[in-house]
Chains A and B, each alone.
Chain A
Amino acid sequence: MMAVAAIAVALQRNLFSAVVLAGIYSFLMATVLVALDAVDVAMTEASVGAGISTVLLLGALHLCGGEEAKPLARPWPPLAVALTIVAALVYGTLGLPAFSDPQAAPHTHVVPRYLEQGPKETGVPNVVTAVLASYRGYDTLGEVLVVFTAGIGVIALLRRARRRKEGKP
């Protein structure tokens, strides 16, 4: 279903429909994430991807106009590139571990330690929060700084109101 939504976004010319389809895509992704036991990520993806992204895209559409021009007359070069990439990536995934293999690399090394020692050392049962805020606190600091930078970047780009005369954008 997500593939259907993604392809529909490509084919839509009305940008408003494309934005709504992107919201649907985000919601479907959040549902899949819950099925994969990633509850924190699903909540974030649902609120950020389907909520804030849609609001921002609609705000930008209000300022930019809602229709797309005629698509490329010759879509073959990008389509060929896309199909080549599909082939190359599928070939690459053949070497990856099978789904839900407990011996695969991500499940060894450091994760069993987090799962066992995390609640004891931090007193927080949610291992994701413990790792995010305590074991990898520096990464979260960087993330907060990225959000901050995006905020001041948008302020810097769009602060001047549109009452300027012509000749001075």
Chain B
Amino acid sequence: MSVASHYSYWITVLLMTAGLYIVIARGNLVKKLIGLAIFQTSVYLLYIAPGKLIGGTAPIVAEAFKLYSNPLPHVLILTAIVVGVATLALGLAITVRVRETYGSIEEDEILAADRDDPDGA
């Protein structure tokens, strides 16, 4: 076990935590969504890095190549990317509605407005 053998995992952990920090430490809703996107992208790396075989090639079967990298994580992550952008689109739509209702997209201002006026908006 050396740095080189686990480097990909540690980079993933770093990016994941950066995304998580943005989500929990920033109050702006759009910033939080960007942090969530960063988090999701780091998870793709987590899945695909172990699938790579040094000396292998992309998993498209051809006569000239013998060793292929693992195609199964690619399939799962393709789905994950598309689901991620769907989530982002819905999150942004909700943010736009929140902005129009409360006049702001900062978390503390929204919570304060809710505390002052729980029923109306």
Q: Do chains A and B touch in the complex (CB under 8 A)?
A: yes
**Proximity string of chain A (133-169) to chain B, C-beta cutoff 8 Å, 1 when within and 0 when not:** 0001001101100110110011001100010000001
A158 close to B93 (CB less than 8 A)? yes
Query: Chain A's nearest CB lies how many Å from the CB of B5?
Result: 4
Chain B residues closer than 8 Å to A150, beta-carbon distance:
86-87, 89-90
User: Which residue, A41, A65, A71, has most C-beta atoms of chain B within 10 A?
Assistant: A41
Given the interface pairs A6-B19, A40-B74, the reply to whether A90 lies near B41 with Cβ below 8 Å is: no
A99 close to B75 (CB less than 8 A)? no
Q: Main secondary structure on chain B at its contact with chain A?
A: helix
Chain A residues closer than 8 Å to B34, beta-carbon distance:
9, 18-19, 22, 57
B24 close to A63 (CB less than 8 A)? no
A52 to B116, CA, bound (A): 38
A interface, CB within 8 angstroms of B: 2-3, 6-7, 9-10, 15, 18-19, 22, 25-26, 29, 32-33, 36-41, 44-45, 48-49, 52-53, 56-57, 59-61, 63-65, 68-69, 71-72, 75, 78-79, 81-83, 85-86, 89-90, 93-94, 96-100, 102, 104, 106-107, 110-111, 114-115, 118-119, 125-128, 131-132, 136, 139-140, 142-143, 146-147, 149-150, 153-154, 157-158, 162, 169
Q: List 30 A-B contacts (CB under 8 A).
A: A6-B38, A9-B35, A9-B38, A10-B35, A26-B37, A29-B44, A38-B48, A38-B52, A38-B58, A39-B60, A41-B74, A41-B77, A45-B41, A49-B37, A49-B84, A57-B88, A69-B106, A72-B25, A78-B21, A79-B21, A82-B17, A82-B24, A89-B16, A96-B6, A106-B50, A110-B72, A111-B71, A115-B68, A126-B59, A154-B93
